[in-house]
Amino acid sequence: MEYLFTFVNTYAAIKAQDLLTTQTIPFNVMPLPSSLGDSCGICFRIKAPDLTTVRQVLQANRVAITQIYQINVVAGKKRYQPWN
């Protein structure tokens, strides 16, 4: 299972990228899927085992995220469900 983190702006996404890279937490930077709006246009995809760590790092460093989505594949298509 994977999760998608969206950010309030590009500055927050770049700050998150720097923090996760420094802490060697694996993530993929990707364009925001059009079905999720347009916010800053950048999002991060992470694996389920890293979810708690990523949330803690971003919260501790006051990185503003818009939403976390759980990625589900249904009939071969990715579906993004808000996760709390």
CATH number of the domain that 47 lies in? 3.30.70
**Closest to 66 (Cα-Cα) out of 10, 2, 26:** 10
72 or 84: which carries more pLDDT confidence? 72
Model confidence at 84, pLDDT cuts 50, 70, 90, reads confident
Per-residue pLDDT tens for 4-46?
999 999 999 999 999 999 999 999 999 998 888 766 789 999 9
Number of domains in the chain: 1
CA 82 to CA 61: how far, in whole Å?
22
Range of the domain at 11: 2-83
Task: Say what the pLDDT of residue 72 is.
Answer: 94
First to last CA, the chain: 15
Per-residue pLDDT tens for 44-70?
999 999 999 999 999 999 999 999 999
pTM tops 0.85: yes
